[in-house]
Every structure is written in C-alpha cells, then in structure tokens.
Amino acid sequence: MRPRAADSTDYFTACIRYQTRQAAKLTEQIHTTAPDEPHLLELRRRLFTAQQKKFTAMYSRGDALAVLLPEFTSLSYSFLRNWQPDADSSSSYADALRFASLTVLFGADATMREAVRRRISDSLTDALLCAEIPVPDPASLRHGEFRLLAEAAQQRRAEQLCAYMEIWYHRDRYDPWYSSHGLNEDCGKWSFAAAAIAKRYAIPDAALRDDPHYPYELAHFVP
C-alpha cells in the first residue's frame, strides 16, 4: 500500500533529488580516485546505495511500475558495476538482498538473475534467483534474521510470511536506511524480500494487502 497524500509525495520528491545529488557527488569522486585507492570500493558501494535509495523513494512516491521498470534496468547495471560484497557488514548484505528481491519482483531475465546471484551467493539469494535451486536452507544462512523467510519458502505457508512481517519493522527500525527521517535519507520502508519470497514460491499474501510495509502491488506485478 503506497502513500498518496500530498505531503508524502513532496517528501519523497525531495528525497529523490537529494539521492540524485549524492549519486552525482560520489560518481565525481570515483572518477577522480586512482584505481588502486583502498577506499574506491567503499565509494562504489555508497554510489549503489544512493541509487537504490532513489529508486525506492520513487516507488514510495507512487510512481507507476511501468515507469520504474527502465529505472530498474539502470539500477541493475549499477549493482553489477558498483556493489561489492563485505563479509563483515550486515548492511551490505541487506543492500544485496533488497536488490536481489527487486530482480525477482521486476522479472529480470535469466542472464541478469544469474549475474546477480554469482555476486552475492548465499542460500537465500541463490534460491530466489535460480530456478534449479528449489528452496533456501535456513541453517546455512550467514545472517540468521532471515531464517523465517527461508522457512516460509520451504513450507510455502502464509502464516510464516505474516510472522516475518510482524517482526521485520521492529527489527530493522535502526537500519541506517530508515533511521534518518527528515534528512532525505528515509526513502520508504518496504520488505521487498518478503514480497519476492511470496512471488517466487506462490505463497498466498492476501492478508498482507494492507500492510503499510509490504509491497503487495509489486508482488503481483507482471512486467
């Protein structure tokens, strides 16, 4: 359920402009940074994050999914070019899972899904992105907070999907993505992963239709 109030639209428009400026600044820094500089990878990660925040703010503003589809294509190439894994960072993994989930929700082709899968390579994203991998293994996940999602995929039960959504907002409310409201950093709070699991495994999600953080429209989008 995406907000339609005028004040929400104005806020997310400002957020989009802010993230666009951030991405432009980071792009300039990358162009002037030597390839062997240690912080270049971090600049690239931050660039992708800014671009993904802009995209999320566009979704939160209520932009039509048909308008977002070419934007998602551009974001896909940014992910492959700029996102870098960081084994010690749960936020880096969360960024990757958000994008992998969008890859499912926007119906990316098999070539793109495989390229993304190889960049991330863990049990949950492997199962989301590869049809030959039937279900994720909850015990093998590097980040245990996503085990409930993996269990929902295994058992294809709406109850587990709803249970995940109940804990998701409170667990993630201190995520840097969402804890800076008023600074054009809060781009909208959506559990794209829950929607991607529902879509990938055909889990009934009618009970989540009016959940303010579940992207129901996107879960049922057919590109």
pLDDT at residue 123, as a whole number: 85
Whether pLDDT at 59 is above 60: yes
Written as six digits, the tokens of 202 are 């055909």
| Confidence tier at 211 by pLDDT (50, 70, 90) | very high
Give residue 57's identity as a one-letter amino acid code.
A
Per-residue three-class SS string for 118-173: HHHCCHHHHHHHCCCCCCCCHHHCCCHHHHHHHHHHHHCCHHHHHHHHHHHHHHHC
| Confidence tier at 58 by pLDDT (50, 70, 90) | very high
Q: What is the pLDDT of residues 143-169, one digit of tens each?
A: 666 777 888 888 788 888 888 888 887
**Most confident listed range (81-85, 179-183, 188-192):** 188-192
